[in-house]
Amino acid sequence: MKRNRTALITGSAKGLGVRIAHELAAQGIHIALNYRSSAAEADRLRQELEERYGISVLLLQADVSRAEEAERMIDTLISSWEHLDILVLNAGPYIKKRKKLADYSLDEWHDMIEGNLSSAFYLCRATIPHMRRSKWGRIVTIGFEKAQTAPGWMYRSAFAAAKTGLVSLTRTIALEEAEHGITANMVCPGDIIGEDKEKHIADVRSLSDPDTPVGRPGTGEDIARTIAFFCSEASDFITGTVLEVTGGKDVLNKYKMRREQ
């Protein structure tokens, strides 16, 4: 990786964002950590990254679902570092309770669309002009299994609608910005939950997961390594790609399979 590359990872104080930050920092990339309310966790991660990898870390508090806060965050980063090379759109709300479309409140629908789709528009609109000036950029979004096929997903209607819209947005950016040396790709995690989001692959090698064809649980490192691949200097020919990292598990149909058992 070229020296002095910088990356902004949204929603990076906890979960998948932690492993993504470690993976990119290990390559010498300076990291901007975005958080909404997890200030203590973000500061603890900042210390870990600076001590372990000797990079610079910037803490940026913002609710990226709000246009003015997202834009302010990018302005602050540019004022501090002058350029932004990598944008990883990891933040995105998710309603864990199983709810059919008719049972969603207007606020819940709004939160899902703003947090998972509109936030990407706000951040990309603010970031792309800076990447154009550098003639180099990497944008990575996060989806879900089969997102590129616009599938139905029971009990996840708002989240699925936002993420399938994000697929089209990602691919459109890839086409529009290719001439400026900017790539845009999406990574679609499988059923990686809880503490597994911050684990290494080595942590689960000896564990069995009979519901996943490869036989082990997925980890945050599985996702982080994929994102790092898209962000590398040599990945300039890869853009508009939607890549699933699921271990072969059919996440969307697990509820159906449970009913049939």
116-171 pLDDT tens trace: 999 999 999 999 999 999 999 999 999 999 999 999 999 999 999 999 999 999 99
Let me know if residue 42 belongs to a domain. yes
pLDDT category of residue 254 using cuts at 50, 70 and 90 = low
pLDDT of 259 strictly over 90: no
pTM for the full predicted model: 0.95
Let me know if residue 84 belongs to a domain. yes
Predicted local distance difference test score (pLDDT) of residue 158 = 97
Total structural domains within the chain: 1
Return the exposure string of 89-105: e unless at least 16 CB atoms fall within 10 Å of the residue's CB, then b: bbbbbebeeebeeeebe
Let me know if residue 1 belongs to a domain. no
pLDDT of 257 strictly over 90: no
Q: CATH no. for residue 138?
A: 3.40.50.720
78-96 pLDDT tens trace: 999 999 999 999 999 999 9
Let me know if residue 149 belongs to a domain. yes
Predicted local distance difference test score (pLDDT) of residue 97 = 93
Tokens for 66, please give them: 């709000």
Let me know if residue 182 belongs to a domain. yes
pLDDT category of residue 3 using cuts at 50, 70 and 90 = confident
Number of Cβ within 10 Å of residue 146's Cβ equals 20
Range of the domain at 63: 6-260
- The mean-pLDDT minimum among 142-151, 203-212, 235-244 falls in 203-212
Predicted local distance difference test score (pLDDT) of residue 255 = 54
Let me know if residue 138 belongs to a domain. yes
Let me know if residue 37 belongs to a domain. yes
Q: Rounded to whole angstroms, what are the CA distances from 136 to 2, 178, 214?
A: 11, 9, 36
Let me know if residue 170 belongs to a domain. yes
**For the chain, what is the mean pLDDT?**
94
pLDDT greater at residue 259 or residue 229? 229
Predicted local distance difference test score (pLDDT) of residue 156 = 95
Please give the average per-residue pLDDT across 216-229, as a whole number: 96
Name the nearest CA neighbour of 218 among 145, 126, 110, 135: 145
